[in-house]
Amino acid sequence: MNRTCIPPNRRNNINSNKDTSRNGSNDIGVNRTLSGQTIYYLPPSYVTPKYQAYVPPGIQAVSTNNQKIPYMHPHFNSTLPSTVQTKICVEPQPLINHNQHTWQGNQQNKIHDEIAGSGKAVDSDDPISASFMPRGYGGVAILWNKAIDKYIKPITDGSNRIQCVELLTSKPTIIMSVYLPTKSTTDSKIIFDDCIDQLYEIVQKYKETHDIVIGGDFNEDIVKETNNSKRKIALLEFMKECKLTTNHKGPTFINTSGADVSEIDYFLHSNIELQPSKRITDHPVNVSDHHPILLQMQCYLTQHAQQTSNNQKLKIKWEKLDKQQYTDIISKEIIKYSDMLENDNESIDQIIKGTTNLMSETAKKVSKQKTYGNNKLKLTIWNKEIADALKANKQAYKIWKDNGRPMNIDHPLIIEKKLTRKTFRTEIRNEELRRKHNERNILIHSNSGDKNLFYKLIRKQRQNGNTFINDLNVDGETFERDDILSGWHTHFNKLAIPTEHPSFNYQHLQLCEMDYDTILEISRQFTSKEVSLDIIQKAIKSINKGKAEDIYGVSIENYLYGGDLF
């Protein structure tokens, strides 16, 4: 990095390591190595940073010119109010190497004890080995205070140039950090269009239920009237189609001469009531060639809001439920719905919805079943060897704990504790491997017409979570990697065109159409008959038990045990 890249108004704060008096251990600020030359940032004496971090001398950090991190900082203490003012800032963070790679791990969570984050590296889609790691050149991240960690839910949508989180407030908000490609490469327009398409899909996915905020470095000036590039047209069309707005703050990019030349950093948002974003021109710790931009938004947080995505749905176990208590409650509460039906005070739809809700809630109340949705998962496999290994590991841990928890790695108790833990994990892996071999043997020797095994394999495949395919075969032609999308296009294009298949049974089709016309004619001539209570009860009792509940949370057992009055 050439020192001329630093804006003139900041050069007085940066001194090279030629001054040997600054190489002591009492230096203030952060040591960063750029292109072999160590430079220091010395903040003015009147600046009191809210968060401080120290990077020991000798640690390398690459230039942060190519990445912006949206940083959310809530202004409240440990007692959460119901309403907070949240600031979202797009700016380079000089204290971390955020051109990271996958092998380096989740570095954004190690910045500060009170800061959490979620991000993507440049090789998130195709990890690069540490031994072949090039210089970092991208990546995105979003940081937030851990005090609001339960209100933030990272989302996997988007490529390694897009990081999304969901802000769980009274009106949920999707916040996206983006870094669009520069114009320096020949394929930059293709990558740019691909990122715009991804942003469009994400907005369409969440726009009905969430507010949208997109912040970052778009690497395109949409303000300059003389700019008629295709990238600008594509970005403006995207904003128009998704009904996103922004405001103009002035140039945000600084060239090598220190002049503010273009506005390429924006906040795009769907909420027109948000305050306009601002450009911060005199940030005391900013040594980037971009001005940070700030967007403030007011959020309404509930005191006990929790993420409920992992909560397990309560299942009613009728064999353990007090059926008599359920019948008594239903018989008592159903009277008011019976009166509504006789007096014609409410519509039939409202009465039916009220009745189904009564049955569902009463069954949940009577079951008194504890939910286990928030508990940690137990081992899915178990045998005597695993049980013995776990018992030995617990005994070794207890002996180590009773002897003062020695921390020397050469201590016999430490070695024994690690050895028993290793044995425990080995037994688990051995059992997993044994079961996997058994499953393969069952497949090899099974009958091809075994439907139970077939559907069991389908369920297992769906639970795998692996939705990626390496190749696709369409009519004898194999599509791989980037061509897989073309293969799907070819397949569905053929399905959309009506064709006569030589093996299709048209005679059977004619018989089905005749049956359909006959059933339709019989239905028209049928006259409704009054159904007695005995017939209804007999029909209900003939339905199989133990089936899943319907959309109203009602199963056949709710009707069976509802009582005679019901």
DSSP 210-254: SEEEEEEE----SS-TT---HHHHHHHHHHHHHT-B----S--EE
| Model pLDDT, residue 9 | 42
Given a cut of 70, is residue 56 above it in pLDDT? no
Over residues 377-392, mean pLDDT: 84
554: confidence class by pLDDT, cuts 50, 70, 90: confident
| Model pLDDT, residue 175 | 93
Cα–Cα distance between 33 and 414 in angstroms, integer?
A: 40
Cα–Cα distance between 497 and 491 in angstroms, integer?
A: 11
DSSP structural state of residue 160? T
The answer for residues whose C-beta is within 8 angstroms of residue 557's C-beta and 6 or more apart is: 316, 318, 363, 545
Q: How far apart are the first and last CA of the chain?
A: 81
Q: How far is CA 91 from CA 7, 143, 442, in A?
A: 16, 11, 57
| Model pLDDT, residue 27 | 38
Residue 394 phi, psi (nearest 5): -65, -40
Strands 140-145 and 69-74, bridge-based pairing: parallel
pTM equals 0.43
132: confidence class by pLDDT, cuts 50, 70, 90: low
Domain ranges of the chain: 62-300, 323-367+507-560, 384-467
Given a cut of 90, is residue 297 above it in pLDDT? no
Q: How far is CA 390 from CA 72, 166, 416, in A?
A: 43, 39, 13
Over residues 468-488, mean pLDDT: 83
User: HSE on the CB side for 162, CA within 13 Å?
Assistant: 23
| Model pLDDT, residue 379 | 75
Q: What is the pLDDT of residues 262-277, one digit of tens each?
A: 889 999 988 877 888 8
Given a cut of 90, is residue 566 above it in pLDDT? no
| The pair of three-digit structure tokens given for residue 329, joined into one six-digit string | 């409650």
Cα–Cα distance between 265 and 291 in angstroms, integer?
A: 9
Cα–Cα distance between 374 and 314 in angstroms, integer?
A: 12
Judged by average pLDDT, the poorest of 230-239, 327-336, 399-408, 525-534 is 525-534
Given a cut of 50, is residue 28 above it in pLDDT? no
Mean residue pLDDT across the chain = 75
State the CATH class of domain 62-300: alpha beta
123: confidence class by pLDDT, cuts 50, 70, 90: low
Give the count of beta carbons closer than 10 Å to the beta carbon of residue 369: 13
| Model pLDDT, residue 84 | 45
Q: What is the pLDDT of residues 99-120, one digit of tens each?
A: 455 545 456 666 677 888 888 8
DSSP H helical segments within 317-380, as ranges? Answer: 323-343, 348-367
| CA 539 and chain centroid, separation | 46
| Model pLDDT, residue 561 | 86
| The pair of three-digit structure tokens given for residue 335, joined into one six-digit string | 């009277």
| Model pLDDT, residue 398 | 92
| Model pLDDT, residue 305 | 47
| Model pLDDT, residue 369 | 52
Smallest CA-to-CA distance from 557 within 186, 549, 565 is with 549
| Model pLDDT, residue 391 | 92
Judged by average pLDDT, the poorest of 49-58, 488-497, 543-552 is 49-58
Q: Is 49 left (phi over 0), alpha (psi -120 to 50) or beta?
A: beta
| Model pLDDT, residue 35 | 34
User: HSE on the CB side for 2, CA within 13 Å?
Assistant: 6
Residue 530 phi, psi (nearest 5): -70, 135
Residues 340/346, Cβ–Cβ less than 8 Å: yes
Given a cut of 70, is residue 307 above it in pLDDT? no
Cα–Cα distance between 403 and 401 in angstroms, integer?
A: 5
Given a cut of 60, is residue 324 above it in pLDDT? yes
Given a cut of 80, is residue 168 above it in pLDDT? yes
| The pair of three-digit structure tokens given for residue 269, joined into one six-digit string | 């948002």
Judged by average pLDDT, the poorest of 155-169, 324-338, 423-437, 546-560 is 546-560
The pLDDT > 70 percentage for the chain reads 71
Given a cut of 50, is residue 422 above it in pLDDT? yes
Given a cut of 80, is residue 178 above it in pLDDT? yes
313: confidence class by pLDDT, cuts 50, 70, 90: low
Tell which wins on pLDDT, 414 or 111: 414
Smallest CA-to-CA distance from 415 within 403, 425, 407 is with 407
User: According to the per-residue pLDDT averaged within each range, which of 77-86, 127-136, 471-480 is highest?
Assistant: 471-480
User: According to the per-residue pLDDT averaged within each range, which of 81-90, 385-394, 453-462 is highest?
Assistant: 385-394
Residues 317/305, Cβ–Cβ less than 8 Å: no
| Model pLDDT, residue 377 | 47
User: According to the per-residue pLDDT averaged within each range, which of 7-21, 68-82, 416-430, 523-537 is highest?
Assistant: 416-430
71: confidence class by pLDDT, cuts 50, 70, 90: very low
| The pair of three-digit structure tokens given for residue 111, joined into one six-digit string | 């910045």
In three-state form (DSSP H/G/I as H, E/B as E, the rest C), the secondary structure along 22-71 is: HCCCCCCCCEEEECCEEEEECCCCCCCCCCCCCCCCCCCCCCCCCCCEEE
Tell which wins on pLDDT, 41 or 147: 147
| Model pLDDT, residue 49 | 42
| Model pLDDT, residue 100 | 53
